């Protein structure tokens, strides 16, 4: 019974909203990181 109530608080819609905000941030950071590595690699070579 208690577990069901706890699960009810962590409903999928809420998790999806959080993911929708976090995923673009991670993608942006990853893209910047890759671009920096690429640019640094170009300068070294």
List pLDDT tens digits, range 8-40. 555 667 777 888 889 999 999 999 999 999 999
pLDDT of residue 27: 94
Q: How many CA atoms lie within 13 A of 33 on its CB side?
A: 6
* pLDDT grade for 1, boundaries at 50, 70 and 90: very low
pTM, two decimal places: 0.53
| Residue 30 CA: distances (Å) to CA of 13, 24, 26 | 26, 10, 6
* Distance, CA of 1 to chain centre: 32
pLDDT of residue 18: 82
Distance CA 35, CA 33 (A): 5
pLDDT of residue 42: 87
Distance CA 17, CA 40 (A): 36
């Amino acid at each position: 019974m208690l577990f069901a109530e706890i699960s009810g608080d962590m409903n999928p819609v809420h998790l999806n909203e959080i993911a929708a905000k976090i995923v673009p941030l991670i993608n942006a950071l990853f893209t910047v990181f890759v671009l920096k590595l690429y640019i640094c690699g170009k300068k070294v070579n």
